[in-house]
Amino acid sequence: MGPEDERSKFRELLLVNPNYFGNIKVSKFKQVKAKKNDISYEELKCVGYNPHVEQLEAVVHIKKDYGYGGDICSTGTPEHVRFYVDWNNAGHWEDVGSAHFTAYDLPGDKPLEYAVTLDIDPKKKFCTIENLPKVRAILSWNDPPPPGDADFVPVWGNVVEARIQIDTLKYVLLADLLKMDAVKVPAGILENLDLSQPVSMMAPKELTISEKAEIYKEKGVPAHRFTFAKIHHLLAKPALAANANQELAQVLAGVGAEVAEAFEALVKTDGDTRYEELRCVGYDPRRRLLTGILTVKLPYGYSGDLCKKGSRQYVAFWEWDEIEATWCYLGTAVVNAHDIKSIPNEGLQYAASLSVDLSHRRRPCTAGPSEARIRAILSWEVPPPPHNPNWVPKWGNREETRIHIKPGPLPTEETIPYVETVGNIHVCDIDPGTGLATGEGLLAHFNADRSPFARTITVTGYIDNPPGGVMEGTAAPLKYQVSVRPYNAVSPQPWQPLSNDFDVWVREEDSLNPPVHKKITQKIDPLDGFYTYLEDPGTPHERHYVIPVLAKWHTSTPYTGLWQIQITARTPYGDDIYGGVLVCESDGSTRSVATLRLDNEAPTVGITLTGYQRGSDPTVYPIGAGTPEKCGKFLKGDILHGTYSVEDEHFGQLTLTVFPAGPAHGATVNPSVRSFDIVPTNGESGKWTLATSGMDPCGYIVRLWARDRAIVDSGSIGLRTSDDVGFCLEFSEDE
């Protein structure tokens, strides 16, 4: 059994007719077979947000064993998720970016649950304002949703909307504070203030039991809910039962509740999901994050509003060990929850994510796919005990899933460094002979097609088996060095270590507090020329790369041709370990050194206006000496003629456009677009025409834009340049 033609020949059908399935609202192509939002192969199930680290998360279910382009040793096919945010819930969607993962034909139990992660820059407000924007996520298999189109309808995939809660402002610039109407400062003082200084908000207050009781008096929140954390604490104290009972009675007396009634209600409470519920669990293989997406359902019962400390939702994760037939604790993620009086009927969606090391399950694709069974337990206010994967929370629930671990080298107990991506492209997607890349950007979305690299080249990777306890001072860190050299097979050149400073984001977390993202400036140690490796899997505090950026190589115009990149790790004992070998799944080739081609030269372009046709006369008259040099004057209805030229070693695309567009009324230059590889890689020279009959009399330019195929700054395609030619259009003689 295999996929239907609409699935297996999907790209071919779209190439012939982009609207083959009728999912494009406005298209010159006619629908052949209706198909929209088909979720038989993949389905976007949940969307959530982690307000502490400003990340959107989505969980996608892969449902079948086939239909994804090939097995684990193939290139598979991409599952794209594009996110939009309506910040004010007014119907105005902002495109905040996209993420994707690769799906394969994998046998075994389904569904497999994948997560994708997107960092965003949210619009924060004061704690007195409930900031609850709507998020729309669009899943589309093998056909990325176009940017800026929040109404895009996927053929294979679906659309999910959710409401999220944005974290409050932690500080405000003094300049912004003084702009508020209620703030008045005498001019003499204002002149001596440093308005660029931030003003920090006060730390949120933790409510007492009495304050909670007053808030919840008419809100229907039972005493055993808002006293739960205190009762749990008393039960855990090593004290005589009589003393604990007396203390509990004192706590409850102030809120008009009897000890027996509150305790009896709490005893009867097991796995209560009226207030919060864990809905989805997924794994992001690129970020190495396990994510639980939970719904906060009610407006009250979370220990205070956004200006208060609130309460905590804990999600603990376990991995099933098939050999020992037991659950192994991986860690606990934390996210804060608050009373939100304007909570929507569908609730608010939160994401609690945990950095995990599953390298012990890593193996080459030739050994078959590697999967893991994951259990997650959500518990409000009390973290699940690590030793008890069967624990039933008072408030919360349990979910299980299966995840896929991406292929890689077999794990060892050795300290081995690896370069994984260069310029946002996996090293296996870079041809070692030509140095050109073909594939999708792994974090910033772009499509490379035999592309060189330009400007800043970001290098990511990892070092196996880093020591734990570096932040605690109980272990010395690993170090590493990234080096480059021009490639010369006959006469190898010396390696040049990179030594520039660059910023990197890390994620610090423990099992009791929400994660924190911090920016660290990487600097080499002047004594040895090595950077410090920042991963620290120690306990109780851990530190992990948000994205494992190991170097940023700033290239410029003199840098061209083939270059190589390698990594070397250094142990605390001074031993140097060279880069490990990656096996490429698609063809079985190996990489220990990345070879890439640099091209920092933008295209050379030129455009001219050479002649015109008038009326029914087919003659093309050359531009005469009487025509003003900078603005040739022509009559409405003339057909203008000109030439264009683009030269580049790695040509990508050229466009010819009329400006301003308004008075041109849709007039287009012929040709309007020319692309590689219809156009040779070195570019082309050609002729263009423009019919002016539908244009208003006005001054215009025809602009030639050209870009090459270079991956620029590791985030987009094309070094760009342009040239213009101008003309004036006047009324014809009979108008």
Both 499 and 568 in one domain: the answer is: yes
Q: What's the pLDDT band for 628 if we cut at 50, 70, 90?
A: very low
Whether 459 maps to a domain, the answer reads no
Residue 145 has pLDDT above 70, yes or no: yes
Give whole-number Cα distances, 528 to 141, 520, 532, 637, in Å: 48, 20, 11, 72
> Per residue in 361-401, pLDDT tens?
999 999 999 999 999 999 999 999 999 999 999 999 999 99
Q: Show the domain range for 565.
A: 464-599
Nearest Cα to Cα of residue 124 among 132, 116, 135: 132
3-class DSSP assignment, residue 377? strand
Q: Residue 626 has what pLDDT?
A: 47
> Per residue in 414-454, pLDDT tens?
999 999 999 999 999 999 999 999 998 888 789 999 999 99
Pull the structure tokens for residue 664: 């041109």
Both 164 and 107 in one domain: the answer is: yes
Of 192-206, 423-437, 608-622, 698-712, the range with the lowest mean pLDDT is: 192-206
Residue 267 has pLDDT above 90, yes or no: no
* Beta carbons of 145 and 138 less than 8 angstroms apart: yes
Whether 424 maps to a domain, the answer reads no
Q: What's the pLDDT band for 487 if we cut at 50, 70, 90?
A: very high
Whether 180 maps to a domain, the answer reads no
Query: Residues 182-207: what's their mean pLDDT?
Result: 71
Both 340 and 366 in one domain: the answer is: yes
Q: Residue 239 has what pLDDT?
A: 58
Q: Which of 164-178, 290-304, 429-443, 584-598 has the highest mean predicted lDDT (pLDDT)?
A: 290-304
Q: Which residues contact 335 (CB under 8 A, 6 or more apart)?
A: 50, 51, 52, 294, 312, 313, 315, 350, 351, 352, 514
Both 571 and 581 in one domain: the answer is: yes
Q: What's the pLDDT band for 180 if we cut at 50, 70, 90?
A: low
Q: Residue 728 has what pLDDT?
A: 93
Nearest Cα to Cα of residue 687 among 607, 601, 567: 607
Q: What's the pLDDT band for 209 if we cut at 50, 70, 90?
A: confident
Query: Residues 552-576: what's their mean pLDDT?
Result: 94
Both 224 and 244 in one domain: the answer is: yes
User: Would you tell me how many other CB atoms lie within 10 Å of the CB of residue 235?
Assistant: 13
Both 399 and 493 in one domain: the answer is: no
Residue 263 has pLDDT above 80, yes or no: no
Q: Residue 258 has what pLDDT?
A: 61
Whether 199 maps to a domain, the answer reads no
* Beta carbons of 14 and 43 less than 8 angstroms apart: no
Both 255 and 280 in one domain: the answer is: no
Residue linked to tokens 């772009």: 446
Both 21 and 47 in one domain: the answer is: no
Chosen domain end from 356, 389, 405:
405
Q: b or e along 403-437 (b: 16 or more beta carbons within 10 Å of the residue's beta carbon)? A: bbbbbbbebeeebbbbbbbbbbbbbbbbebeebbb
DSSP labels, 392-450: --SB--EEEEEEEEPP-SPP-SS--EEEEEETTEEGGGB-TTT--EEEE-SSS--EEEE
Both 546 and 622 in one domain: the answer is: no
Residue 121: DSSP 8-state: -
Pull the structure tokens for residue 731: 């009324």
* Beta carbons of 264 and 276 less than 8 angstroms apart: no
Residue 212 has pLDDT above 50, yes or no: yes
Q: Residue 214 has what pLDDT?
A: 87
* Beta carbons of 634 and 625 less than 8 angstroms apart: no
The structural domain count of the chain equals: 5
In this structure, what are the phi and psi dihedrals at residue 585, rounded to the nearest 5 degrees?
-65, -35
Both 281 and 330 in one domain: the answer is: yes
Both 625 and 589 in one domain: the answer is: no
Query: Residues 60-76: what's their mean pLDDT?
Result: 95
Q: What's the pLDDT band for 171 if we cut at 50, 70, 90?
A: low
Question: In this structure, what CATH number is given to the domain that contains residue 660?
Answer: 2.60.40.2550
Chosen domain end from 405, 421, 436:
405
For the chain, state the CA radius of gyration.
31
CA distance 197 to 405: 46
3-class DSSP assignment, residue 471? coil
Residue linked to tokens 């400073």: 501
Chosen domain end from 267, 296, 315:
267
Q: Residue 542 has what pLDDT?
A: 94
> Per residue in 305-329, pLDDT tens?
999 999 999 999 999 999 999 999 9
Residue 165 has pLDDT above 70, yes or no: yes
Residue 10: DSSP 8-state: H
Q: Residue 203 has what pLDDT?
A: 85
CA distance 438 to 429: 6
Pull the structure tokens for residue 98: 């996209």
CA distance 114 to 103: 9
Both 162 and 58 in one domain: the answer is: yes
Whether 196 maps to a domain, the answer reads no
Predicted structure pTM score? 0.90
Of 238-252, 359-373, 563-577, the range with the lowest mean pLDDT is: 238-252
Q: Residue 256 has what pLDDT?
A: 60
In this structure, what are the phi and psi dihedrals at residue 262, rounded to the nearest 5 degrees?
-65, -40
Whether 591 maps to a domain, the answer reads yes
Residue linked to tokens 């004992």: 573
Q: Which residue has the higher pLDDT, 84 or 257?
A: 84
> Per residue in 570-606, pLDDT tens?
999 999 999 999 988 777 889 999 999 999 999 999 9
Whether 445 maps to a domain, the answer reads no
Whether 451 maps to a domain, the answer reads no
Q: What's the pLDDT band for 255 if we cut at 50, 70, 90?
A: low
* Beta carbons of 46 and 280 less than 8 angstroms apart: yes
